[in-house]
Amino acid sequence: MKLSIISFTQKGAVLAKKIRDELTVKGNNCTAYCMPKYAEIPYLLPLNTTLSNWTSAAFENSDGLIFVSACGIAVRALAPHIKSKLTDPAVVVIDDCGRFAVSLLSGHMGGANTLAREIAGAVGAVPVISTATDNHHKFAVDLWAAENSLCLRDVQLAKEVSAALLDGKKVGFICDFPIDGSLPEGLCEDASLSLGICVTLDEKKKPFKNTLVLIPQSITVGIGCRKGASKEAIQTQLSACLAKEHISPLAIKEIASINIKAQEAGLLALCKEYDVPLKTYSASQLMEAKGTFSCSSFVKEQTGTDNVCERAALLASGGSLLVKKQCGKGVTIALAAANWRASFEECNT
C-alpha cells in the first residue's frame, strides 16, 4: 500500500517513524510527515503546508492515511474529502502514546481494519475495530469482495446484505465460478430468496429480486491494432466483443499487446479510461505462448509473431483463452480468463 503518515507532537513524530519503519519492512511505500521542529528525526519530512492541503493531496494519492493524533483532528481534516466507500482510502488514527489504533474510514473495502491491526501489532497498540460484521463475526460482503478482486458497485445493496446477516436472515448466493470452502453462516444457494449475491461476469444477471452483483476482475483483453488506431475504434470492437459474450467491462483487469504497441496512443487512452495496466511482450515472448492460435503470415511478417491478441491475452492472464481473435476495422481482440475461484476458506477459519 502507498501510505501517508502525519504526526503533530514530538512523541507522535517518534511513533510515526516507528510505524513508517515497521510498515516499510512489510513492503508498503510509506511517507511520514511531522512538524518542522521535529524533522531532524530520520526519514520524517517536515509539514510545510497546511493540514488541509496535506490531507487533500494524501487522500487523492494514497491507499491509506495514518494520523498520529486525536480522532477529532483527523475527522475535521478528512470531512471535506469523504466521497464513497468504493473509492475512499483507508484511514487509521493512533494516539501519540501508541495505545489505540482506530480504524476510522474504509474499514473493509479500503483495508483500514487490516491496517489498524498491522499498526497495532507493530507498536503494541490495541486495534479498535467498530464494523458490526467483524464484531459479531458475520460474513462481510464488502471485505470479501475487496480481498477477492471482485468489483462491487451497489453500496446500498451491500449494506442490505450485511444488515440481513446481522439480523440472522438468510441471503442467497449464486456463483458462476468454482467455490473453495463452505459458504459462511447466513449464505445459502437458494434462488427463491428475495435478497442475494451473484458472482458473475454478466452484470445484467439478476437471479434474485434484489441482487448484489459481484464481478471478478479476471479478464485480460489481448489487442492488436494498426498504427494510429484511435481509442474509439479499439473501444468499439472491444465493446462489441464483450456484449456478445455477456461480459461486463468491469471484469477487465488488464490489457495486453506486443511491445511495439507500448506507446500506442489509442491503447494507452483505453487503459486510462478503464483504469487498467497495459502489459506488453516481445515477439519472441509471444511465440513462447502454448496453445492453438489463429495464425497470420502477414502479422508475423510485420511483427515477428503470428498472432498478437490471443498470445498476449493468454500470457498476461496466466489462465485460459476465453474468446479467440475477433477482427474489425484494423483491430483484433481476444479475451483470456484467469483461473478465478470463489474462496471462503479464510472466512471459515
Q: 76-92: per-residue pLDDT in tens?
A: 999 999 998 889 999 99
pLDDT at 299 over 90: no
**Paired sense of beta strands 219-225 and 187-188, if any:** unpaired
Q: 16-45: per-residue pLDDT in tens?
A: 999 999 999 999 999 999 999 999 999 999
Q: Helix and strand tally (H, E) in the chain?
A: 12, 19
C-alpha 124/C-alpha 96 separation (Å) is 13
Name the burial class of residue 92, with classes exposed (0-12), middle (13-18) and buried (19+) by CB atoms within 10 angstroms of its CB: buried
Q: Which residue has the cell 488514527?
A: 93
**Alpha carbon of residue 312 to chain centroid:** 22
pLDDT at 348 over 60: no
Q: Could you tell me the three cell numbers for 61?
A: 494519492
Q: Are 278 and 244 in contact (CB under 8 A)?
A: no
Q: What is the pTM of this model?
A: 0.80
Q: Could you tell me the three cell numbers for 117?
A: 491491526
For residues 115, 119, 121, 125, the Cα torsion angle rounded to the nearest 10 degrees is -120
What whole-number percentage of the chain has pLDDT above 90?
87
Q: 112-161: per-residue pLDDT in tens?
A: 999 999 999 999 999 999 988 888 888 999 999 988 999 999 999 999 99
What mean pLDDT do residues 51-74 have? 96
* β-strand partners of 175: 199
Domains of the chain are 2-130 (3.40.50.11220), 141-216 (3.40.1390.40), 219-337 (3.30.420.180)
Give the pLDDT band (50/70/90) at residue 347. Answer: low
What mean pLDDT do residues 51-66 have? 96
**Paired sense of beta strands 331-337 and 219-225, if any:** antiparallel
Name the burial class of residue 6, with classes exposed (0-12), middle (13-18) and buried (19+) by CB atoms within 10 angstroms of its CB: buried
Q: Could you tell me the three cell numbers for 246?
A: 455477456
